[in-house]
Chains A and B, each alone.
Chain A
Amino acid sequence: MAQPQAKIDALAERVAGLAVCGSGWLGAARRDAASRLAAMGLPTKRDEYWRYTDPGSLTRPDALHAAQFDTTDEAPAFDGIDRLRLVFVDGVFDPAQSDDPTLAGVEITALTAAETTDIHWARDLYGALEARGQTPVQRPLASLNTAYATEGLLIRATGRAAKPVDLIYLRKSETSDAMLHHCIKVEAGAELTVLENGPGAARLTKVMEVDVAEGGRFHHVRVQGRDPERRAATHLFARVGANALFKSFTLTANGRMTRNDAVIELAGHDGVAHIAGAAMGDGDFHHDDTVFMTHAAERCESRQVFKKVLKSGAVGVFQGKILVKPGAQKTDGYQISQSLLLDGASQFLAKPELEIYADDVKCSHGSTSGAIDEVALFYLQSRGVPRRVAQSLLVLAFLAEAIAEIDDETIAEDIRSRLEGWLARHEG
């Protein structure tokens, strides 16, 4: 289908000066992505899929300035957790700041070193899930990333990983425009936890492709940088095999513009895929969770749990779909998106969708938007709980269902303390 000239022009401007790098399998995968992208052009706010989020700042040729932000008032995310730390600074892997990437049960290779070695599993994965995720909805920013990202990691779990792998995204520049592309393969019966934290860049365009083979287990917890002016467009593509488990949770507190796409396919029977998020915005904040969950096999379970706390004009968006393909009988799908509006100036826009082509399925979805419960607030106060504490308690209660999606209690506690910190900083 021919695309409007504006989209093609926008693409030409965006990639001017960028090159599709590399030879070998990786170069080929990038060139494939570049041709997919050329056929699509870049998204504009006239696209249905960008109806609630103006992609302008994410697609423009350069990153908008994002002032440095001091986050030393709280410990970095996952600080107390024993993990393997892999550090990127403005989108460039920094081995000097990172731990030695040797971990029992896990193989880790930098994308920059990948093209010269034939890593067969990565060759089958890089760009593959992204390409698959282009139908029925086009995701040009993901193809842009596959074609032009030169940094990222290839992580393969062959057994039970000895500890979580934490990808730390530091930002030093106020204008950095970074692209990261990670591929993660969890082999049959293996288990891996991947953590991500930090802003990454003034503008971060990121793709993570995750393939969980039969009986594999993958946990993902992400804390996006709380720099108020940072921007991010991220895609999480996942294929979940038979009897496999995929769980992802994202905390977004602050950020001028965040678009988090998740495209998950339950490809084998009895798979489980849960994706959850808690987003906190005060003022100039736009946060968009867009999820496409496909049930392509029998007896799979999916959950989407997204909660947003918005104040002073912050905007939250949720577009979530459950697609049940023919033959995906005994599907159990659940989706909830809720926002807590702390004042009248904030906005929540939600578009939940179900599309079902099997007759023996259980799918439910709900979306709500509301203010803090004044009666509950008074009840707590009448027991001696100060209004501020009571409000914080009620906000955390509102978020509890999303946080409950984190299986590791230590990590969940870290997330909770971050939420409490945010609430304390954004009182009144």
Chain B
Amino acid sequence: MLEIKNLHVKLEEEDKVILRGVDLSIGAGEVHAIMGPNGSGKSTLSYVLAGREGYAVTGGSATLDGADLMAMEPENRAAAGLFLAFQYPVEIPGVGNMTFLRTAVNAQRKTRGEPELSAGDFLKVVREKAKTLKIDADMLKRPVNVGFSGGEKKRNEILQMAMLEPRMCILDETDSGLDVDAMKLVSEGVNALRSEGRSFLVITHYQRLLDHIKPDVVHIMAAGRIIKTGGPDLALEVENNGYADLLAEAQ
């Protein structure tokens, strides 16, 4: 589904290289995790895939079902099925959460040539999905993420994911800022979305998220490259021994 080949990325404004040849292949229905020390390029990878400005791709490629992601506007990547759950969800004063969700859902449907959801149908679906994530009516009415707690923001990300039904979900440190209960709730939300046709890329610092969202493959990223790939045991190894051994081994 997602194929990243030898991806090189630098900052647009300065000569700082961040990704130095990332290779990653995620098949349909698979859950991959990326772990790695601070500054290894994990978040940059997620931003570059989603299409954030400020990065220059200097080599390599990234495709979603064969379509060249790097040639698409962010909104078209989303319509093609890519979703990024932000590490820091953005507050948008003045735009109601419900308006935001409906605009997004219908924009994607429109891009894909599907009919827009009626207000009634939309409301029914959103209420149902919100309920399982313990998002109350008030949170749906309030401006997007404004005044939300850290946990509420992350739950709101998962709600968006549930509404948009993407095929390739990237979770960028979704566990950061969550207490144990919130992490459980968010993980349950993610697990409920796992299916044969939907893949996940979970970026995290800590193994504990992976206790809840069980990955098929774990990658270790360092200095802009994936230096090791393994099964779920690899996450445990990191948790116990840190990154030092892996980094030394890679050099």
A residues apposed to B, CB below 8 Å:
373-376, 378-387, 389-390, 393-394, 396-401
Contact = CB atoms under 8 A, between A and B. Distances in A.
A394 B164 contact: no
B90 A379 contact: yes
B53 interface: yes
B50 interface: yes
A382 B160 CA distance: 11
Given A381-B73, A384-B107, A400 B94 contact: yes
Given A374-B53, A389-B107, A393-B103, A382 B94 contact: no
Given A373-B92, A378-B51, A384-B79, 6 more contacts: A378-B52, A382-B75, A382-B78, A382-B84, A385-B104, A387-B73
A383 B51 contact: no
Given A376-B92, A397-B93, A389 B103 contact: yes
Interface residues of B, number: 31
Nearest to B89: A379
B94 A378 contact: no
Interface string B63-100: 00000000001110111000110100111111100011
A376 B79 CA distance: 18
A385 B75 contact: yes
B132 interface: no
Contacts of B90: 375-376, 378-379
11 contacts: A376-B90, A379-B89, A379-B90, A380-B103, A382-B51, A383-B164, A384-B78, A384-B164, A387-B75, A393-B95, A393-B99
B94 A384 contact: no
B3 to A, nearest CB: 20
Contact of B94 (A374, A383, A386, A397): A397
A213 B145 CA distance: 43
Contacts of B50: 378, 382
Contacts of A376: 90-92
Interface of B: 50-53, 73-75, 77-79, 83-84, 86, 89-95, 99-100, 103-105, 107-108, 111, 143, 160, 164
Contact of B95 (A381, A382, A394, A401): A394
A383 B104 contact: yes
A19 to B, nearest CB: 51
A348 B119 CA distance: 39
A417 to B, nearest CB: 15
Contact of A396 (B89, B94, B111): B94
Contacts of A399: 94
Contacts of A375: 90
Nearest to A375: B90
Contacts of B104: 380, 383-385
Contact of B111 (A384, A387, A397): A384
A104 to B, nearest CB: 37
A400 B75 CA distance: 25
A397 B164 CA distance: 23
Most buried by A among B53, B79, B99, B104: B104
A382 B74 contact: yes
Given A374-B53, A386-B107, A389-B103, A381 B94 contact: no
Nearest to A388: B75
B100 A380 contact: yes
Nearest to B88: A375
A379 B107 CA distance: 14
Nearest to A399: B94
Contacts of B92: 373, 376, 379-380, 394, 397
Which 3 A-B pairs have CB atoms at the shortest separation, nearest pair first?
A: A397-B94, A384-B78, A384-B108
Nearest to A403: B94
A383 B53 CA distance: 15
A381 B103 contact: no
A385 B83 CA distance: 12
Nearest to B166: A384
Nearest to B109: A384
A393 B107 CA distance: 13
Nearest to A379: B90
